[in-house]
Structure 1
Amino acid sequence: MSSTVEDAGVEAPDEEKPVAQGRGHRPALVAACLAVLLLVLGGAGMLFRAHQLRTAPAAGNHALTDTEATSQVTGDVSATLGKVLSYTPQATDVTAQSARELLAGKAAKQYTALFGQVGKRAKEQKLTLTTQVVRAGVTRLTGRQARLLVFLDQTAQRKGKPAGAVAAQLSVTAELRGGTWLITDITAR
Structure 2
Amino acid sequence: MPDAREARDEADPPDAPEAPDTQPAVEAGESEAAAPEPEGAARDVRPRRPLPAGRLRRAALAGTAALLLAAGCGFLHAAHQLRSAPPVRNQALTDTEATTRVAGEVGHALARAFSYTPDGTAAAERSARTGLDGRAARQYRALFDQVRDDLTEQRVTLSTRVARTGVIELDGGKARLLVFLDQTSHRGKDTATTAAAQLTVTARLVDDQWRITDIKAR
Could you tell me the TM-score, scaled by structure 1's length?
0.73
Structure 1 unaligned blocks of 5 or more: 1-8, 12-40
Deviation at 1:119, TM superposition (A): 1.9
State the structure with bigger RCO (CA 8 A, min sep 6), 1 or 2: 1
Structure-2 separation of matches of 1:45 and 1:66: 27
Structure-1 separation of matches of 2:108 and 2:101: 11
- The AA in structure 2 aligned to 1:80 is A
| Residues 131 and 44 of structure 1: CA distance in aligned 2, closer, same or farther (over 3 Å) | same
- The AA in structure 2 aligned to 1:54 is R
1:67 to 88, 96, 100: 96
Which residue does 2:155 correspond to in 1?
A: 126
Q: Match of 1:63, SS?
A: helix
Which residue does 1:38 correspond to in 2?
A: none
Alignment of 1:51-130 (within 5 A): 52-130=81-159
Do structure 1's residue 160 and structure 2's residue 189 form an aligned pair?
yes
- Percent identical: 53
Deviations 1:153-177 (CA, angstroms, capped at 9, x unpaired): 0011111211111000000111111
Which residue does 1:22 correspond to in 2?
A: none
CA RMSD of aligned residues (A): 2.7
Deviation at 1:106, TM superposition (A): 1.0
Deviation at 1:96, TM superposition (A): 0.9
Could you tell me the TM-score, scaled by structure 2's length?
0.64
Deviations 1:115-158 (CA, angstroms, capped at 9, x unpaired): 21122211011000000000101111111111111110001111
Structure-1 separation of matches of 2:72 and 2:202: 40
Structure-1 separation of matches of 2:79 and 2:188: 63
Question: Rg bigger for which structure?
Answer: 2
Alignment size in residue pairs: 158
Structure-2 separation of matches of 1:134 and 1:46: 41
Deviation at 1:63, TM superposition (A): 0.6
Structure-2 separation of matches of 1:154 and 1:177: 28
Deviations 1:33-84 (CA, angstroms, capped at 9, x unpaired): xxxxxxxx99987776555433321122011211111111111011001100
Structure-1 separation of matches of 2:153 and 2:183: 20
- The AA in structure 2 aligned to 1:111 is Y
